Structure 1
């Protein structure tokens, strides 16, 4: 982690460029290497497959679970994005990366990743709650098995939930995962692996300490903040969700208890306090 701040593995229909490597944006606001082409990781069909930060350990998928890539699939390329903690001294190089294991045998359970994120602005020297929510609108059953929480330096607790509403209109919240994001940002087993299906909701909450004397925006650099909850899941004899991302505009515009939101039975304290 003293070298690579984080790494993201993308599946792409089309990569940002056909060059072997390129400039996809820097963590720090500084003059970038103008000799490299600038492009996003993917120009079409972007899927987050894996993320690593803070000396996270190896991820091993459950038996018979795999990401489908190659001919006839949405993922024609895999692209590794590395954000470095600092610039290298002149003449220094790096060999950070990932080892991928693959098979040509079709797996009965196909994996997917859903990224729940929040936009917005964190006021200076305040505790701010950042929340997102979306509904599953596809007739599929997903089996969650791993989660990962990601923030920069201001995040203190990140929690992810699924919600199912009963016939009486009461929301039943299931905690998928909760973590101090300043610990190793690896994929951990979910707290509750109950299936998620059509009509269920997925939610992400983070509380942050705005310890700076200025407002902090959500963004990719060290000067910004992020609130991300990655949910890794599989489907049996089906294709993963078409939905890859779930985001809201965040504070001060969006909160779960905004007028017009119909969420109920909200576990405010449990969602924002580490046990």
Structure 2
């Protein structure tokens, strides 16, 4: 395995340049370096190092993949990558697994955060005008790591270069983008309709402006919904951020209510799962397992995104909104579980 030379600048290869609304935008081809997915349920990662002397703003994402090849892709921002290899095995729930072809490590060694996610032939994503993900000199993101989940192995003579075309600019953006991921652990019992739920109170003195959401489950997911909850003496107010059938293209969709979210507000998500199998299904990394994820993409004005990047609960049978420490009331059970 060749060691990846990490002293490569982000701008080594520029595919093209164009102007969007007077903004000079370039494209970087962030692709797998002709990898061989040699076994089922393989997660592979590849990194790029951002030039530490400049700031860059990612303003769009164009996927270069199909669901027949890649089950899903995640783009991580890292302070340090999980490995110095050019490619490594990075299934987060398989970190102790021995792979005779690729070394094994997590996507990030330090400073892990989600920047972008894709699945089910989702189309390109263009961020709102004036919004960008800051990477490089003044950002905690010093590396980007592309993770692809290959559900099925490839024939030995077939290699893959799936990935994403990053649209970026050097022009400073007045609004910095961020992503917070809501998810759960837990188990869906045999022949059971289950609600997998999570919630976190916002503790930082920041105002975030949500503009897009994305849902992700595997085969059992029927509806995924996300809310901002404002708890008042007169009763909780549940404002829908977005909900979607996760079997549809798992793209980022515009939020339903772009209400600003502040300290003291609660972010909450629910995945409605229908397990028709005669056996329980747990949260896990393979397609035979499940996942319950709600991604919220937002921007902040004149400041940095949230330090909190993740909001996870233990999931069923240990955690439900009805038993949460926040003491929720007026839970929108029907709305949260139906389209």
**TM-score over 0.5 (shorter chain):** yes
The 1:18–1:124 alpha-carbon spacing in structure 2 relative to 1, beyond 3 Å, is: same
Q: Secondary structure at the match of 2:305?
A: coil
What's the TM-score once normalised by structure 1's chain length?
0.95
Q: How far did 1:12 drift? A: 0.3
Q: Do 1:2 and 1:85's aligned partners in 2 also have CA atoms closer than 8 Å?
A: no
The separation in 1 between residues aligned to 2:141 and 2:272, in whole angstroms, is 34
- The alignment partner of 2:336 has SS state of helix
CA contact 1:27–1:83 (8 Å) conserved in 2 = no
Equivalent position of 2:307 in the other structure: 242
Aligned to 1:123: 189
| Larger proportion of strand | 2
Residue 171 of structure 1: how far off its partner (Å):
1.0
> Which residue of 2 is the match for residue 9 of structure 1?
75
TM-score (norm 2): 0.77
Q: For residue 291 of structure 2, what is the aligned residue in structure 1?
A: 226
Shift of the 261–237 alpha-carbon distance from structure 1 to 2, 3 Å rule, reads: closer
1:91 corresponds in structure 2 to 157
Out of 108, 117, 120, the residue aligned to residue 51 of structure 1 is 117
For the residues of structure 1 that align with 2:326 and 2:129, how far apart are their CA atoms? 39
Q: Does 1:196 align with 2:251?
A: no
* Aligned counterparts of 2:146 and 2:294: Cα–Cα separation in 1: 19
Change in CA separation of 1:223 and 1:32 when aligned onto 2, cut-off 3 Å: farther
2:236 corresponds to 1:152: no
Long gaps (5+) in structure 2: 1-66
Secondary structure in 2 matching 1:173: strand
Q: Deviations over 1:31-70 (max 9, x none)?
A: 9741211111100000100000000000000011011110
Number of aligned residues: 271
Q: Secondary structure of 2:180's match?
A: strand
TM-aligned CA deviation for residue 19 of structure 1: 1.3
Could you tell me how far apart the structure 2 residues matched to 1:110 and 1:223 are? 37
Which 5+ residue runs of structure 1 have no aligned equivalent?
A: none
Q: Give the 3 Å change call, closer, same or farther, for CA 259–24 of structure 1 in structure 2.
A: closer
What secondary structure does 2:136 align onto?
Answer: coil
**Structure with larger RCO (C-alpha < 8 A, sep 6+):** 1
Aligned-partner Cα distance in 2 for 1:259–1:191: 25
Structure-2 residue corresponding to 1:258: 323
What is the CA-CA distance between 1:103 and the residue it aligns to? 1.2
Q: Please state how far the C-alpha of 1:219 moved relative to its aligned partner.
A: 1.0
Deviation at 1:26, TM superposition (A): 8.8
2:174 is the counterpart of 1:102 = no
| 2:98–2:104 contact (8 Å) kept in structure 1 | no
Does 2:204 align with 1:142?
no
Counterpart check, 1:171 vs 2:255: no
Question: In 2, are the aligned partners of 1:26 and 1:32 still within 8 Å (CA)?
Answer: no
How many angstroms apart in 1 are the aligned matches of 2:312 and 2:86? Answer: 31
Question: What is the CA-CA distance between 1:260 and the residue it aligns to?
Answer: 5.2
- Structure 2 CA distance, aligned partners of 1:101 and 1:254? 39
1:112 counterpart residue number? 178
CA gap 1:15/1:203 in 2 versus in 1, 3 angstroms: same
CA contact (8 A) 1:159 1:272 kept: yes
Q: Deviations over 1:80-114 (max 9, x none)?
A: 00001310011101121100011112110000000
Moved over 3 A (4+): none
User: Is the Cα contact below 8 Å between 2:226 and 2:294 reproduced in 1?
Assistant: yes
Shift of 1:236: 0.3
31-40 vs 44-53, which moves further: 31-40
Query: 1:207 and 2:272 equivalent?
Result: yes
What is the rounded CA distance, in whole Å, between the counterparts of 1:48 and 1:259 in structure 2?
26
- Secondary structure of 1:69's partner? strand
